[in-house]
Structure 1
Amino acid sequence: MQRRHFLSRSALLAASLPTVQAWAQPGATFPTRPITLLVPYGAGGPTDTHVRAVADAAGKLLGQPVVIDNKPGANGVNGAALLPKAAPDGYTLAILPASVYREPHVQKTPFDPRTSFSYIAMLSDYAFGLAVRADAPWKQWKDLAADAKKRPGRINVGATGAVGTPRIVMDEAASEAGIDLNVVPYKGDADLANAILGGHVDAGPLSGIAVPHIASGKMRYLVALTKDRIKRYPDLPTLREQGVNAWIDSPYGVAGPAGMDPALVKRLSGVFQQALNSPGSLRALESLNQPVNYMDPDAYRTYALQAYEREEKRVAKLRAKGLL
């Protein structure tokens, strides 16, 4: 019943959007050839899975394929690094993850989030929870925090990326809670999920990859690492509700090189909005436990500038702690 209700609401939303013909008039000069969409993660991962569904729908709306080009590595900024080299004609686009706003403060990058991109459409955000094995001794965050106070530095918490958002938020959460966790970096969510299941670490922030393990009874969430409760797990409290003002804000969206025609940016934003609400995209989001999080070009750019300033402060704190 919940799934039917979710899809029916989404269908109503999609029906309220502009029709396909509004964005793909036969006389339009764009596009006349395939569009390349750079995805800064490997094939088969959560982001790639969702973006492929969006790209398929967008290609049908535009009348030309939107071709995925995977560029994994470099903390997810390989797509952003290539955009400044591309012509601002709309034929080369990239997925921008949250690390794009942090990396320029960590090291020199060939892009500046303030000036290097034409922000087109925010798409979605990951819904993280703090995952443990089903037989873990803690039932909720407060249990783990109490144990950590008794055994400082003895509870191992895995997190993706040495300076990734999950790692930073776990450090922030531990600091706010007055506890000492041993945070262990992992290359990706799949590696971390296997480490939790294998007992190599005690816990770790996981997004959609945890859903099938929770459904099979092998894992559970202690607490939601989102700003608000997760719709799939409405009884799971957030860290904020537990008195710890920390959450993982890690959205991704589509951008092009700086200097794109504003009319083209607006047109592409409308296409990606429709594609985001297509049946294939909604099915992918449901399976990954992610929300629709569309932002138009102006709202997306405003978010990006705010995120860039926030990450500058975060990186300064990491350096002060000797973590960078």
Structure 2
Amino acid sequence: MSKKVMVAALTALSIQSIAAHAQQSAASYPTKPLRFVVGLAPGGATDIVARLIGQKLTEALGHTVIVDNRAGAAGSIAGAIVAKATPDGYTLHVVSSSFAINPSLHDLPFDTLKDFAPISLIAQAPFLLVTTPSLRVESVKDLIARAKAKPSTMHFSSGGYGGSGHLAGELFKRMAGIQVDHVAFRGGSPSVQAVIAGQVHMTFSAIVAGLQYWKAGRLRAHGVTSAKRSKAAPELPTIAEAGVAGYQVLTWYGILAPARTPREIVAKLSGAVSKIVSSPEIEQKFLNDGAEPVGSTPEEFRRHLVDEIARIEKLAKEIGLKAGKK
């Protein structure tokens, strides 16, 4: 046997051995507790989602899922931990839509696409466009007309510079062709309270909070930011159907593994998560919070990430979004 033939044969055997080992590992996976790393403190929306899915994944896989909160540095501490973790399926990253925003705002210690293996989307939720009652607008078209009649005299609030609510407002401005100035607050609740008090004119609120104040008569609600009407408020139109064609902004949640995690393990986790979010119990829990479950394949989640990052990068350049601004 020639040296070339021998090398080729050994290479083939090595590849077969690696593939067989990966399949064997996936078949027995998991054999110990899993860790969900979350880049926010306990009690936030991402943490709540992680604990809900972790509890059900514990039941499905027969091994405990531990939630490890590593807040700080806009989520990059948690992201770096997962990116550098052994790619064996035991250290996973539960993220929200801010994961796709951060590359446009921060120098990250990892590559958002190259250093992770998408597993599955979990859920998504629209925002609710609300205005202060004193503005006396009845619809999205009425709001746009008012803003065009008096450019730069109206303001919209958000829960923070560069957050999803801020970007929802900036995209609305551009697509509606209006000039409304942004006022950033420290969190979604102060942002909504400022609209209730009439300090600012409008905001894109988390849907549950917005609906609560709308039903109490303290805010006016004009539309949801999803492509279709929300099950939480089917009587409200989408912003697209209310006058801004093509408008859509969602907050979403998903699970990632370190890059190079065996495909068999990724597939096993993806299937388990999709099954969990399709259960009536979990669907109802998400609906109670204005969200809808959206399990996906790893490929679908990767395409979603690529599209989201590109869309946000484009908007960030157009509006001059920069880290450190207020």
Deviations 1:121-164 (A, max 9, x none): 11111221112345652221222222222332222211233122
Match for residue 222 of structure 1? 222
Match for residue 242 of structure 2? 242
Separation in 1, partners of 2:182, 2:132: 17
The yes-or-no answer on 1:39 pairing with 2:35 is no
Uncovered stretches (5+) of structure 1, i.e. residues with no partner: 1-26
Task: Report the residue type matching 1:236 in the other structure.
Answer: L
Alpha carbons of structure 1 residues 129 and 104: separation in structure 2 relative to 1, 3 Å: same
How far 1:314 moved relative to its partner? 2.1
CA contact (8 A) 1:75 1:164 kept: no
Alpha carbons of structure 1 residues 118 and 229: separation in structure 2 relative to 1, 3 Å: same
| Number of residue pairs aligned between Structure 1 and Structure 2 | 298
CA contact (8 A) 1:50 1:281 kept: no
Match for residue 65 of structure 1? 64
Correspondence list, 1:305-324, <5 A: 305-319=306-320
| SS across alignment from 1:187 | coil
TM-score (norm 2): 0.81
Deviations 1:217-236 (A, max 9, x none): 43342122222222222232
Task: Report the residue type matching 2:110 in the other structure.
Answer: F
Alpha carbons of structure 1 residues 28 and 209: separation in structure 2 relative to 1, 3 Å: farther
| SS across alignment from 1:95 | strand
Alpha carbons of structure 1 residues 237 and 283: separation in structure 2 relative to 1, 3 Å: closer
How far 1:32 moved relative to its partner? 2.9
How far 1:279 moved relative to its partner? 4.8
Task: Report the residue type matching 1:271 in the other structure.
Answer: A
* Larger deviation, residues 122-131 vs 28-37: 28-37
Deviations 1:198-235 (A, max 9, x none): 43322211123323333444334212222222222223
* Larger deviation, residues 132-141 vs 280-289: 132-141
CA contact (8 A) 1:156 1:182 kept: yes
Match for residue 14 of structure 2? none
Match for residue 289 of structure 1? 290
Task: Report the residue type matching 2:231 in the other structure.
Answer: K
The yes-or-no answer on 1:147 pairing with 2:117 is no
How far 1:295 moved relative to its partner? 1.0
Match for residue 5 of structure 2? none
Alpha carbons of structure 1 residues 294 and 212: separation in structure 2 relative to 1, 3 Å: same
Task: Report the residue type matching 1:173 in the other structure.
Answer: F
Instruction: Name the larger-Rg structure.
Output: 2
The yes-or-no answer on 1:100 pairing with 2:99 is yes
How far 1:39 moved relative to its partner? 2.3
| SS across alignment from 1:126 | strand
Identity %: 27
Deviations 1:285-307 (A, max 9, x none): 11111111111111111222222
Task: Report the residue type matching 1:230 in the other structure.
Answer: S
CA contact (8 A) 1:131 1:222 kept: yes
Separation in 2, partners of 1:318, 1:178: 13
Task: Report the residue type matching 1:239 in the other structure.
Answer: I
Separation in 2, partners of 1:223, 1:178: 18
Task: Report the residue type matching 1:146 in the other structure.
Answer: A
TM-score (norm 1): 0.82
The yes-or-no answer on 1:202 pairing with 2:201 is yes
* Larger deviation, residues 311-320 vs 31-40: 311-320
Alpha carbons of structure 1 residues 48 and 212: separation in structure 2 relative to 1, 3 Å: farther
Separation in 2, partners of 1:43, 1:137: 39
Alpha carbons of structure 1 residues 298 and 104: separation in structure 2 relative to 1, 3 Å: same
Match for residue 5 of structure 1? none
Cα RMSD of the aligned pairs, angstroms, is: 2.6
